[in-house]
Amino acid sequence: MKTRDKILLSSLDLFNERGERNVTTNHIAAHLAISPGNLYYHFRNKSDIIYEIFLEYEKLVDFYLDIPENRPITLDDLTFYLESVFDGLWSYRFFHRDLEYLLDSDQRLRQDYREFTNRCLTAISRIFEKLAEAGIIEPQPEELRSAMSLNVWLVITNWMAFLKTAHASEASASLTLTELKQGIYQVLTLEIPYLTADYREQVMTLREKYRPRFPDSADALVSGQGEPIGNH
């Protein structure tokens, strides 16, 4: 593998693991056992590394959120979208953590991210539209659909931060992809009232699969279990 690609990969790993703020270019070089000079031969600065990583992230999500227009949407499609988006979020999880600082430091990134967000919101809205066409949810006026899409976006992009700040009692407590995907439960919660009678059961069953199981008693009120959860 080319040094350049190794730098991108290691950077992503370290950023995800420790947070962009805690990872210096020297750290990245040291982790790869290359010299700082070498790193700066391939990238002009830290922002450029981050920007390239963002482009990968963007490409991945754009690929996942490509809505097929030649056929109706299915529940499997919905599951795929949700799973994929959370997979992407997981792989590039450092990004949303320091988002505001990153955008302040790089105008290109700000512009691109802005457009990226708008594309995602459009895609989410389009998914709602197609879910209605497929008879899975009741159709809604565009204005409501847009506001709902934005709420879905807010829940998706910030579920991880919630887990890391409110759930884990220690900084070191590592998050798992499984926990992250409990965000799907939250997203499906948003859709419950709009489900059609025909599909309500199916979606509720799907949702149940992602139901959070917090082992920590302090969080019991978060999941609001009516009945006790089994030990595991």
Instruction: Confirm or reject binding of residue 36 to DNA (CB under 7 A).
Output: yes
* Binding residues for DNA restricted to 37-76, rule: CB under 7 A: 37-38, 40-42, 44-47
As a whole number of angstroms, the distance between CA 214 and CA 224 comes to: 10
For 133-191, what is the HEC assignment? HCCCECCCCHHHHHHHHHHHHHHHHHHHHHHHHHHCCCCCCCCCHHHHHCHHHHHHHHH
Could you give the C-alpha distances from 167 to 196, 213, 224, in angstroms and in order?
33, 11, 14
Instruction: Confirm or reject binding of residue 107 to DNA (CB under 7 A).
Output: no
The enclosing H or E element of 109 equals helix 107-133
Q: Determine the longest span between alpha carbons in the chain, in angstroms.
A: 63
Task: Quote the distance between the C-alpha of residue 119 and its chain's center.
Answer: 15
- Our CB check for a copy of itself shows the closer of 26 and 151 to be 151
* Binding residues for a copy of itself restricted to 45-104, rule: CB under 8 A: 97-101, 103-104
- Our CB check for DNA shows the closer of 26 and 176 to be 26
From 5-13, 35-43, 45-53, 158-166, span contacting a copy of itself (CB under 8 A): 158-166
Instruction: Confirm or reject binding of residue 24 to a copy of itself (CB under 8 A).
Output: no
Could you give the C-alpha distances from 87 to 83, 90, 91, 111, in angstroms and in order?
6, 5, 6, 24
Among 39, 124, 125, 206, binds a copy of itself (CB under 8 A): 125
Instruction: Confirm or reject binding of residue 114 to a copy of itself (CB under 8 A).
Output: yes
Among 189, 201, 202, 205, binds a copy of itself (CB under 8 A): 189
Judge whether 85 and 64 are in contact, CB under 8 Å: yes
- Our CB check for DNA shows the closer of 37 and 141 to be 37
- Using CB under 8 A as the criterion, which residues of the chain lie in contact with a copy of itself when the complex forms? 19, 21, 97-101, 103-104, 107, 110-111, 113-114, 117-118, 121-122, 125, 141-151, 153-155, 157-159, 161-162, 164-166, 169-171, 185-186, 189-190, 192-194, 218-219, 221-226
